[in-house]
Amino acid sequence: MARFDLPDLGEGLEDAEVVRWLVEVGDNVAIDQPIVEVETAKATVVIPSPYAGQVASVFAAAGEIVDVGAPLFSVDEDHTSSGDDPPVLVGYGRSAGPARRRPRVTPASTGEGWGAAVLAKPAIRKLAKDLGVDLAGIQGSGPGGSITRSDVETAAQPATDQSTDDLDDQAAGSRLTGTRRAIAAAMEKTLSIPDAAAWLTADASGLLEIRSDINDNSVTPFALAMRIVVAGLVRFPGLNARFTDDRLFESSEVHLGIATQTERGLLVPVIANAQTMGAIALGRQIASVAAQARAGSLTPSALSGSTFTATNYGAFGVHGGHPILNPPNIAILGLGLIANRPWVTDGGDIGIRPMIELTIVFDHRFNDGSTPSSFLRYVADVMADAAALREILEP
């Protein structure tokens, strides 16, 4: 019997939620055949089988969360791999430390009315205790008769003659899962960061002039703005950094995170070594990773490792906003809608110019106002000056 444990699916990930099983117990499977689809904080991943044989058991139902290193499924092998250790899928690797295991079942008797030899995970037991549900009275619907979250929540509902409207109100709630659960946790984490912001209104005339000269649809105004941003980060490396394990790591390489709205929520695909790309290459890469993010085809590694993040809320027709930091990055730039507005020129004349609001939010522990403001000023000045932008179209 060969058991497969959930592998480390990406940087900093501790667990994954089972979305759906692609096989059933008793099915025959081949090596590399897709077995289960799981959702991590960063992506949806299909896990193949490293074994050939018959599926003997699955250790989590759809909707349940499995820790890295915990058993996921087992197979009666036709052909076994050598060695005693569970296999590692190519491209995922092992955790740096010992696996944090969450047992499938924990038969135990508390002696206090919580049942004996019930099949439930610790998290399910805690939920039952919080809701005042006796696990001994529940018939589990999970694998092997184990009790699931859904079983506990159903048992917690009062059996009264409520009206249909009342029942509809109860059913309206939904728990956070997968990407949305990870986003919520990340947003809570940012509350502890002492951030600060600076913003200005920039003239985008030069940027739009250059855009009209480039015959490539992937080079959008946003893509050109990102080329300016990358050049600015090379000049101001104090913003191009990650804070992890109580240490600040500045980088000479710009790994640009692009906040992208998808059906699963907000994802941040990363363009590695953006400082080596010209405007056209960068524009095509931005279009590519955004399309992959929306299609859900990015791997977890493609959503990790950014040193700076940019978000384009102008795409939604708004002029400005206050971006939220994307830890472990220490700064994020927000770009609003480019819109024609009356503007007083340097000569004192009033004219109509394509204007854009730029906002930088930064971790105040590592930067005072000088560097972020100087960076913002640089980006704005190049946007306004076609000649200056033309000089940095290529790295």
Helix (H, G, I), strand (E, B) or coil at 324: coil
DSSP states of 27-62: -EE-TT-EEEEEE-SS-EEEEEPSSEEEEEEES--T
Of 27, 78, 166, 368, the catalytic one is 368
Q: How far is CA 225 from the centre of its chain?
A: 23
CA distance 273 to 190: 26
Of 67, 319, 364, 381, the catalytic one is 364
Number of H helices and E strands in the chain, helices first, is 9, 19
Name residue 37's amino acid: E
Return the exposure string of 286-314: e unless at least 16 CB atoms fall within 10 Å of the residue's CB, then b: beebbebbbeeebebbbbbebbbbbbbbb
State yes or no: is 246 an active-site residue. Answer: no
State yes or no: is 368 an active-site residue. Answer: yes
CA distance 229 to 395: 12
Unique residue bearing structure tokens 């979250």: 149
The count of other CB atoms within 10 Å of the CB of residue 158 is 6
Q: Which amino acids are annotated catalytic?
A: 364, 368
